[in-house]
Amino acid sequence: MQAYKQLEERFGRLTALREISSFLSWDRSVLMPEKGVDQRARQMEILSVLIHDLQTADEVGEWLAQVDRKKLGDWQRANIDVMEWLYNHATAVPAALVAKKMNQETRTEVLWRQARAESNFAMVRDELARLLDIVREHAEVKGKKLKKPAYDALMDSYVPHMTSLEVDAVFDDVAAFIPGFLTAALEYQKEPLPIKGPYPRDRQEQLGRDLCGTLGFDFKWGRLDTSTHPFSMGIGDDVRITTRYNEDEFITAMQAVAHEAGHGFYDRHTPKEWHQQPVGASQNMGMGIHESQSLSIDMQLYRSRDFWEFFAPRVQKILGKSGAEYSAENLYRHATRARRGFIRVEADEITYPAHVILRYRLEKKMVEGKLEVKDLPEAWNAAMKELIGAVPPNDKLGCLQDIHWYSGAFGYFPSYALGAIIAAQLVDKMKRDIPDVMAQVRQGNIAPYTGWLRDNVQAKGCLYRPQELIEKATGAKMSTHFFKKHLTERYLEKAYGGEACSDTSAPGAKRRA
């Protein structure tokens, strides 16, 4: 037990320092004075060096080797599992290569901001090519250490314990489904009556706080603020989410509140007694599972007709609006409107996974040396045509739109679409477990809905690995079946004609063998 205790002590310190680090970054995005950027960067760099040193010290490896798993309880064993994952990732790449990558990331990201503003891919092309070279080297070194293919080694940071072969199977199935389904849905959907602002910021903020109250996001342990890009951070008794307001419309700002509250619930509901340990930090489940929690709220709940039955009168009251445009049905149509759009972060439920699959396929090829930066815009546009049926008129609306690659984050994208797929599977099971859950939602009682997610997912912390958690929570292996079923029911308003689904084995899962 000596080695285990030492690991707990070390990782307890690391957990606190990581909390501090995310908090410094929250402040930077939410309220730091604009000139404070350089000072904050220095503070965060010094903290990150400290974290890295404590995380990768030789004794950590020795304790991990000494620890006798047989003598540990379930949570302790899972804790060691997560520690090992963190340690292996942190020690896989030599410090010099990490520094080289960071340096090139900064250069590329700075240039990308300018290139995106001017929609000029050529401007950042060479820097991105240089960054990709380093990312490939990084992926290779990491892959050797972690005994995984190069791309998988990168992806493992964000989608732990899943292989790209498994992701391919899931994504290929969804990619084959979307184009035809999108055409049918666009044909089927009813044009909503237009709604028109301005919706003053303070009213929207009041609506956002009201929505938090409805969802059970409590300001005794949480905050709602604004930032350029919505995000969430925190744990346990201090969970903070942000949104952004646009006075022309309010549906997007509320959707961001719902999305980030979903992440926030995960951070809140892991078991309190494990909050100081890696097994209690929800982000260690990976971003796929984390997104499943935000999308269970943002997509599954917020874009449901039942929810708008309750929420439309709140909107009318707080924004001071009335008439058919603000009826539940009309607002629901706005919230679920599909289109062949160019921008991922503005995408609807149907095209969103397609945007992500496109990026996954391209980044995997780039890391594997099968696609070069100079050919990226062309490959991007071809994939857009195939999956979404729309080719962006310029690179600003195309391959320049996301920061990820330009800041060196390869392997992150798949988690977004996996989250949507997992959310559909979880909520399908929830509805079978609690047959009147959506009837309750219609009455404004969201507690059974969020309570199911808490009990079946969030309260488990990192006790199980992601795929195991899905199986425990839903009785089925991860499957695309539920996502396709969900889209069909919501966007074509009919029963899904795909393969039947049993509780223990789902069609999508079989394909992954």
Catalytic positions are: 260
To its own copies, the closest distance from the beta carbon of 221 in angstroms equals 4
DSSP one-letter code for 296: I
x/- contact string, 253-282, with its own copies (CB under 8 A)? ----------------------xx------
DSSP one-letter code for 355: H
Q: Does 51 help bind its own copies (rule: CB under 8 A)?
A: no
Is there a contact between 152 and 458 (Cβ–Cβ < 8 Å)?
no
To its own copies, the closest distance from the beta carbon of 42 in angstroms equals 6
**Residues in contact with 31: Cβ distance below 8 Å, sequence separation at least 6, in sequence order:** 225
Nearer to its own copies, 271 or 475 (CB): 271
Q: Does 32 help bind its own copies (rule: CB under 8 A)?
A: yes
Helix (H, G, I), strand (E, B) or coil at 381: helix
CA 224 to mean position of chain CA atoms? 19
Give the span between the Cα atoms of 270 and 472, in whole angstroms.
16
Q: Does 79 help bind its own copies (rule: CB under 8 A)?
A: no
Of 31, 99, 345, 439, the one binding its own copies (CB under 8 A) is 31
Q: Does 134 help bind its own copies (rule: CB under 8 A)?
A: no
| Neighbouring C-beta atoms of residue 462, cutoff 10 Å | 27
Nearer to its own copies, 47 or 390 (CB): 47
x/- contact string, 1-30, with its own copies (CB under 8 A)? -----------xx--xx-xx--xx--x---
Nearer to its own copies, 104 or 283 (CB): 283
Q: Does 467 help bind its own copies (rule: CB under 8 A)?
A: no
Is there a contact between 135 and 121 (Cβ–Cβ < 8 Å)?
no
What are the tokens at 318? Answer: 């707080």
Q: Does 497 help bind its own copies (rule: CB under 8 A)?
A: no
Region for residue 490 given its phi and psi (left: phi exceeds 0; alpha: psi -120 to 50; beta: otherwise): alpha
Amino acid at 12: G
Q: Rg of the Cα trace of the chain?
A: 23
Give the span between the Cα atoms of 9 and 11, in whole angstroms.
6
To its own copies, the closest distance from the beta carbon of 29 in angstroms equals 14
Q: Does 203 help bind its own copies (rule: CB under 8 A)?
A: no
**Residues in contact with 178: Cβ distance below 8 Å, sequence separation at least 6, in sequence order:** 350, 351, 353, 354, 387, 388
To its own copies, the closest distance from the beta carbon of 247 in angstroms equals 20
* Stretch near its own copies under the rule CB under 8 A, chosen from 43-51, 258-266, 330-338, 457-465: 43-51
Q: Does 144 help bind its own copies (rule: CB under 8 A)?
A: no
Region for residue 37 given its phi and psi (left: phi exceeds 0; alpha: psi -120 to 50; beta: otherwise): alpha
Amino acid at 292: S
Q: Does 201 help bind its own copies (rule: CB under 8 A)?
A: no
Per the DSSP assignment, residues forming a β-bridge with 240 are 223, 233
Q: Does 89 help bind its own copies (rule: CB under 8 A)?
A: no
To its own copies, the closest distance from the beta carbon of 17 in angstroms equals 7
To its own copies, the closest distance from the beta carbon of 262 in angstroms equals 18
Q: Does 38 help bind its own copies (rule: CB under 8 A)?
A: yes
Q: Does 202 help bind its own copies (rule: CB under 8 A)?
A: no
Count of residues in contact with its own copies, rule CB under 8 A? 37
Q: Does 59 help bind its own copies (rule: CB under 8 A)?
A: no
Give the span between the Cα atoms of 499 and 155, in whole angstroms.
30
Short-list 103, 106, 109, 102, CA closest to 124:
109
x/- contact string, 227-256, with its own copies (CB under 8 A)? --------xxxxxx----------------
**Residues in contact with 10: Cβ distance below 8 Å, sequence separation at least 6, in sequence order:** 54, 59, 60, 63
Nearer to its own copies, 54 or 391 (CB): 54
Short-list 226, 219, 230, CA closest to 201:
226
Nearer to its own copies, 24 or 129 (CB): 24
Give the span between the Cα atoms of 60 and 33, in whole angstroms.
38
* Stretch near its own copies under the rule CB under 8 A, chosen from 145-153, 169-177, 217-225, 427-435: 217-225
Residues making contact with its own copies (CB under 8 A): 12-13, 16-17, 19-20, 23-24, 27, 31-40, 42-43, 46-47, 50, 219-223, 235-240, 275-276
